[in-house]
Amino acid sequence: MPRIGVYVCHCGINIAATVDVKEVRKFAETLEDVVVARDYLYTCSDPGQEMIIEDIKKYKLDRIVVASCSPRMHEPTFRAAIEEAGLNPFCLEMANIREHCSWVHKDKEKATQKAK
């Protein structure tokens, strides 16, 4: 069985102003095989990456999902972090909830539903 960690980023207010990040995290907690789900102000920051690395080790995670900004910008960041934790860097999936949800919607409820 997979052991998945889900990390939902506030991206400051870039995401959190339009998407209810805590609600998305709570939804992720209910998904099958999700062992841990967290929301964090800037997941791409050094402390954010360290949180993921620590969780991989603590919870023996073998899959990581990061819901944040553009993979073009931060996919290499997160791949390097999970590889540092001993996980295959290709066991990462990114959901671009900044450009695909937050920036294209004004309605918080609709943006949050889409982010789930």
Q: Where are the domains of the chain?
A: 4-115
User: Please, are residues 33 and 11 in contact by the beta-carbon 8 Å criterion?
Assistant: no
Confidence of residue 70 (pLDDT cuts 50, 70, 90): confident
- Dump pLDDT digits (tens) for 6-22: 999 999 999 999 999 99
Report the distance separating Cα 19 and Cα 29, nearest Å. 17
As a whole number, the mean pLDDT across the chain is: 97
CATH number for region 4-115: 3.40.50
3-class DSSP state of 7: strand
Report the distance separating Cα 100 and Cα 96, nearest Å. 6
pLDDT value at 48 more than 90: yes
Report the distance separating Cα 63 and Cα 6, nearest Å. 9
